Structure formats: C-alpha cells, structure tokens
Amino acid sequence: MSDSLFDSAPQSDEVYYQYYEQPLTERLRTFLRLDFLFQQADYFLHRPSKMDSRIAITTLIDLLNVLTRGDIRSDTLKELDKFSRTLQNYLTYPGIDSDELKHQLTDIAQTRLQLEALGMSLGSELREHEFLNSIKHRSAIPGGACNFD
C-alpha cells in the first residue's frame, strides 16, 4: 500500500512511512509542506486532464511561494550541514558501509554547492514570469481561475 495521498495504486511493493512526534518545529513543518507539494506536483504534472493541469500549476505556484521565502535557503543549508556532521560521525563505527556513507556525504556536499551557487536568486526568474503571475493573481480571486479566464 502506498503512503502518498495521490496514488490510486501502489507504485511498488515497498511501503514507506514517515513518523514525526509533535510539536514539530516550523522548519520541519516547512520541509514537510515542501515534500507534500513536490509529491502533489509530480502526480498532477503526469495526468492528462485540464483539471489536473490546473491543480499542477496551482501547486507549482504554491511551491514557488514557499521556496522564495528568505529563510528556506538558509534553513536548508543548515540542515545539510547538520546531516553531513551526523553522517561524518558514523565513519568511525564498525560495520558501517563506508563506501555508501562517503557516497551520501558526496551527494550532500554537491547539493549544498548547487544551492549555494543559486545565491539569493532562488526562484527569481519564476517570480517575474508574466504567465505565472497572471495565474497567481487570478487564483487569489475566489473562483477567479475559471476556464473562461
């Protein structure tokens, strides 16, 4: 059984659960919100109907709103640093697959470099995109994003 809210059928036999105890920090809530939005976007981007496309665009706008917040980049960099430090400590443990651990550390380092290379411009091109802004403004009006608009 799949964990995703959007899957009508399981994609594999593997079951994946995420458990979190309350209270969640605001940072963790934001990361969980992003995870949900990315799953939703991935699901609806691959669906054929017009309504699915509408939900996909709305989800992308929601993602843009979250990702362009000033603190998301710095929070993500802090979390990557924390993960890296934690994993570094495991290198000295006996029985650890050090090759796999080094591979994961390399992935984290590369992701960090890519995020740093973006600088403060995370999503800036999309924020200024005329078509997306038009949809965003129409969506703010109750019933404003109808098929005749």
Alpha-carbon dihedral sign for residues 103, 109, 113, 116: positive
Mean pLDDT on 37-64? 92
Burial (CB count <10 Å: 0-12, 13-18, 19+), residue 44:
buried
Mean pLDDT on 108-129? 83
Please tell me the predicted confidence (pLDDT) of residue 88: 94
Q: Is it the case that residue 117 has pLDDT exceeding 60?
A: yes
Mean pLDDT on 6-20? 63
Question: Each residue of 67-106: pLDDT tens digit?
Answer: 888 788 889 999 999 999 999 999 888 888 999 999 999 9
What's the whole-model pTM score?
Answer: 0.71
What token pair was written down for 48?
């054929």
